[in-house]
Amino acid sequence: GEPEVSEDGTQYTVKVKKGLKWSDGSGLNANDFVYSWQRAADPKTGADYAYLFDVFAKDADGKLKVEAKDDNTITFTLAAPCSYMVGLMAFPTFLPVQKKAVEAADKDGSNPGAWAMEAGFVTNGAYTLKSWKHKESMVYVKNPNYYDADNVTVDELDFMLSADDTAILAAYQAGNLDFADTVPTGEIKNLKNKPDFHVIPNLGTYYVAFNVNSSMFDGMTTEQASDTRKALSKLIDRQYIIDTIGQTEQKLATSFIPPAMSDGHGGEFKKNDDAYTYPVKDAVGYYSPDVDVDGAVALLKKAGFQFDDNNQLSESTPLHINYLTNDGTAHVAIAQAL
C-alpha cells in the first residue's frame, strides 16, 4: 500500500511485505532496505545517483534519518516535503542489495560494485542473471523465490549486448531477436511503414556536456568560457538533426527539462504559468532553438576569438573540440552534424 505521511510531509512510514526472500532463499526485510539506502548515500560507495538521497534529513554524522522499526516497517524523515517521494522510491537506487553478498565480494571496501560484476549475484527481482558474456549477451531466468513468481509467465529472457545497431537489426531480421530498441538511422525511412516498427515517446533530453577543465578553455575567464559554450549552442541546427538523423518527430529542446515531465502534482512541469514564465516565453525555455550565427559570432568575439574579413574564425584563435561518443550510428551522425 501507499506509505503513511505526516501532515507536514516529512515523516514517512513504509510497510514491507512479509515473507520476502532473496534469490538465494534467505529472508529479506526492512533492515535490508535501511542498509541499502545508507550504503547508496555514503560518499565512499560512489553511487552515481547518491544525490537522490539529498531529500532525506541526516544525522550529525551524515547518516540518513531512516530506520527499521521492525522487520516489516521502515520510517524515514525528509529535510523538506517532497511531492514526488513515492515515485522516487521506485528508482533502482532505492532497491535493496544483500549485505552479506556485498561485503563478501568487497572485503576491503575498495570495489563497491564487485558483488554484481558476474552472473549469479543475489537479487530479489523477478529474474536472476544466469549467464553474462560481457559486451555480448545476458541470460536471465525466472527467480523461484520472487514474491510474485506465480505470475511471472516468461521463464527466460535472452539479451544481445552490442553498440552496433546494424548488427542488432540484422539479428532481429534473421529472427534471432524478438525485439530491438535501436536501429541504424539510415534504415529508419525504410522501416517506418512496416507493421512491427513502432515509435514510442521517450522522456529525455539529448545534450552535449563540456569538460570545463579541458584545454579548449585554457586562459579563459569563467564568463568567456560560458560565452563560448553559448555561442556553440546557437550554431546547432536542431531541426536538421531531427529531420535527417532522429527522423521520429523528436521535439526541439529549449531547456534541460523535456516536455511532459510531471510537476509532482498531476500537471506538466515545463509550461508558462502564473508561478513561472520562461525567459524565452514562446519557446517555453531558456533559449531559442533557432540557429543564430550572428549571435554566436558576437559571443565568440566577446570571448576573445578573432574573425577575418569573411567572418570566418581566424587561425590566430582556433577552436578545437574533442568530441567523445560511442559507435551507435545515431550518435556518430549527430556528432558529425554538430
Is residue 263 pLDDT above 80, yes or no?
yes
User: What domains does the chain contain, in order, with CATH numbers?
Assistant: 4-112 (3.90.76.10), 115-176 (3.40.190.10), 215-337 (no CATH)
Per-residue model confidence as pLDDT tens digits over 3-56:
999 999 999 999 999 999 999 999 999 999 999 999 999 999 999 999 999 999
At 311, the pLDDT band (50, 70, 90 cuts) reads confident
pLDDT at residue 105, as a whole number: 97
At 326, the pLDDT band (50, 70, 90 cuts) reads confident
pLDDT at residue 61, as a whole number: 94
pLDDT at residue 264, as a whole number: 75
State mean pLDDT over 46-69: 97
First-residue to last-residue Cα distance in the chain: 48
- Rounded Cα gap, residues 32 and 39, in angstroms: 10
pLDDT at residue 58, as a whole number: 98
pTM: 0.82
| Mean pLDDT, the chain, integer | 96
- Rounded Cα gap, residues 295 and 297, in angstroms: 6
Is residue 210 pLDDT above 90, yes or no?
yes
Look at residues 46, 56, 127 and name the one whose alpha carbon lies nearest to residue 89: 56
- Rounded Cα gap, residues 62 and 54, in angstroms: 11
- Rounded Cα gap, residues 17 and 116, in angstroms: 25
- Rounded Cα gap, residues 319 and 312, in angstroms: 12
Is residue 327 pLDDT above 90, yes or no?
no
DSSP string, 235-278: T--HHHHIIIII-S-PPPPSSSSPTT-B-SSSSBSSS--SS---
Burial 145-164 (b: 16+ CB within 10 A, else e): bbeeeeeeeeeeeeeeebeb
At 262, the pLDDT band (50, 70, 90 cuts) reads confident
- Rounded Cα gap, residues 118 and 132, in angstroms: 7
Grid cell locating 282: 514562446
Per-residue model confidence as pLDDT tens digits over 161-188:
998 999 999 999 999 999 999 999 999 9
DSSP class of residue 2 equals P
At 193, the pLDDT band (50, 70, 90 cuts) reads very high
- Rounded Cα gap, residues 231 and 303, in angstroms: 9
Per-residue model confidence as pLDDT tens digits over 107-134:
998 999 999 999 999 999 999 999 999 9
Strand locations in the chain, DSSP E? 4-5, 11-15, 66-70, 73-77, 127-133, 137-142, 156-160
Neighbours of 180 (CB within 10 A): 16
For residues 150 and 160, the answer to whether their CB atoms sit within 8 Å is: no
DSSP class of residue 117 equals S
- Rounded Cα gap, residues 139 and 167, in angstroms: 19
At 338, the pLDDT band (50, 70, 90 cuts) reads very high
For residues 83 and 264, the answer to whether their CB atoms sit within 8 Å is: yes
Which helix H or strand E contains 170, and what residues bound it? Answer: helix 165-173
Lowest average pLDDT, out of 21-35, 143-157, 310-324, goes to 310-324
pLDDT at residue 265, as a whole number: 80
Grid cell locating 307: 574573425
State mean pLDDT over 253-268: 89
For residues 150 and 139, the answer to whether their CB atoms sit within 8 Å is: no
Percent of the chain past pLDDT 90, that is, above it, reads: 93
